[in-house]
Structure 1
Amino acid sequence: MTTLIKRTDHGDIRELQLDRAPVNALNPMVCTQLVEAIDEAVAAGVGGIVLSGGPKVFSAGLDVPFLLGLSDRDALRAAWEQFFEAARALATCPVPVVAAINGHAPAGGCVLALCCDYRVMADGPYRIGLNETQVGLVAPDGIQRLMRRAVGAHRAECLLVSGELVESGQALAWGLVDELTDIGGVPTRALAWLEQLLQLPRKPVLATRAIARADLVEALHPDNIRLDHFIEAWNDPDTQAGLRALVAKLGK
């Protein structure tokens, strides 16, 4: 089986790198392996995890051409469920996870980053956000909650309705990411932040973290995703037209 998640240990921290060229598009295999890699890291007793991508793209989000090729509703539902399982694995991870956003992070890439404890992004013309409306999709309530949690209710509404992807400098100003650094140093800076956190008393940090992140975990509860409703909307003519326009644009 092709390994799509690279594992690198840095002392008490394990870096998990999305490794599906060219843009780390999230298909079920990537998502399944990410869940497995998180579980393995926790079982190994790591103090924390760095989730990275690159080069120049952290993750371009869901593999839309793959999804459009699924004619069976059950297969489509299973693919989306696996993505949400990956998001939940990050959100419920019992140890801190830092997103090393070394490049663009639209749509599903942004969702994964929002599920992490801290976000370090490459400084420069790299964009992040939830652009679902631009391709004919409606972000589920639970995903909208993740955006509101990061940037506040009104700013989240503006970004979600417009589907705007913002450059890293604006993302920092609005709280969508926590700090910027040069693209080559993103994983290193993420590692340094996590190392500093791990110097604090472990049990109080983890207990406080669990309380602070309860709303994040709740946001991703299946009741707030309503996956069956989402799958029904997937076949709406407006949605299909938007998705196929995206695929045509990517093919140019």
Structure 2
Amino acid sequence: MRRPPMSGTDVLYEITDGVGCITLNRPDKFNCISTGLMDGVDAAMDAFEADDNVRVVLLTGAGKTFCTGADLDEVMAARQDRPALAKFISHIHSMLRRFEASPLPVVVAVNGLALAGGIEIMMACDVAFAGRDKAKIGDQHAQYGLIPGGGGTQRLPRLVGLRRALDLMFTNRWLDAGEAETWGLVNYVVDDDDLAEESLAYCRNLAQKSRAGLAAMKQWSRQGLEGTLDAGLTMEEDLVIDGLLGPDVEEGLAAFQARRAPNFS
């Protein structure tokens, strides 16, 4: 296990077995999103992406909550200065786009409340685990006359469909883990006591795979959703050819023929 330099107490991060682990570490503030927290996430992602041994990122929250949205003290202070408010909202967007654009798969383990900005973080990740009883997922903005500021109006309809998205945003109701799984917001529902272990085991499995292969699958799957099927298939054809000519495929096929586990560089 190796720990990179920390970027303050709002975020903890470490590398273990090829997995870059990020913990949102403001439990006394329900892990709400502050500038310090976003800076910490940026530092963690910088460290992970620069390390060829890291193949996947695992994100969770400290304490009993995953994340309940933006730090309202910081938002209220920024309301006095429009450029400062715009900078804060833009930082949220860039953090979430970082998860989506990263070559590393980002897995989220929702250990408690994931509300407002919390569900927005969750939606920007690639794979989601949730604790069976403790995870509660929803949007709270309409309750307080707010509009989602972290892409909620854009990602939620894409993931669950327009009517479900509007219902969730209009009513502020919370989904439990099982309902969130039915909606397609969660991939795996596990017992709360097993959440950390099972999500880490999943990530360790991904860490044994080709970093380049995982990155290509993520990039082109996401990019393909923004265009036509024909354009996506053309991109995939080029991708497959490049992959077949690369060293990871050579190692993978050699391992298959030798009936051994591949050892990707």
* TM score, norm. by length of structure 2: 0.75
The 5 Å alignment of 1:79-228 reads 79-139=88-148, 142-214=151-223
Aligned residue identity for 2:133: G
Alignment match, 2:64: 56
1:44 is matched with which residue? 51
Q: Flag as ranges the 4+ runs of structure 1 deviating above 6 A.
A: 215-218
> Alpha-carbon deviation of 1:141?
9.6
Matched residue type, 2:201: A
Deviation (angstroms), 1:179? 1.2
Distance across 1 between alignment mates of 2:135 and 2:125: 19
* Structure of higher RCO (CA pairs closer than 8 Å, 6+ residues apart): 1
User: Counterpart of 2:20?
Assistant: 14
Unaligned runs of 5+ in 1: 219-252
CA RMSD of aligned residues (A): 2.3
For 2:245, the equivalent position in structure 1 comes to none
> Which residue identity lines up with residue 103 of structure 1 in the other structure?
G
CA distance in 2, matches of 1:128, 1:142: 16
Is contact 1:103-1:183 (8 Å) kept? Answer: no
Once the two structures are aligned, what percentage of the paired residues are identical? 27
Runs of 5+ unmatched residues, structure 2: 1-6, 228-265
From 35, 42, 49, give the equivalent of 1:35: 42
Q: Do the aligned partners of residues 13 and 154 (structure 1) sit closer, same or farther apart at CA in structure 2, a change above 3 Å counting?
A: same
- Highest CA radius of gyration, 1 or 2? 2
Contact 1:91 1:216 in 2 (8 A): no
Query: Kindly tell me: are residues 125 and 51 of structure 1, through their superposed partners in 2, closer, same or farther at Cα, counting changes over 3 Å?
Result: closer
Paired amino acid for 1:64: L
What is the letter of the counterpart of residue 146 of structure 1? R
Give the secondary-structure state (helix, strand or coil) at the position aligned to 1:98: strand
For the residue of structure 1 that corresponds to 2:67, the secondary structure is coil
Question: Alpha-carbon deviations, 1:106-162, whole Å to 9, x = none?
Answer: 011111111111010111143112222122122369432311232223222221232
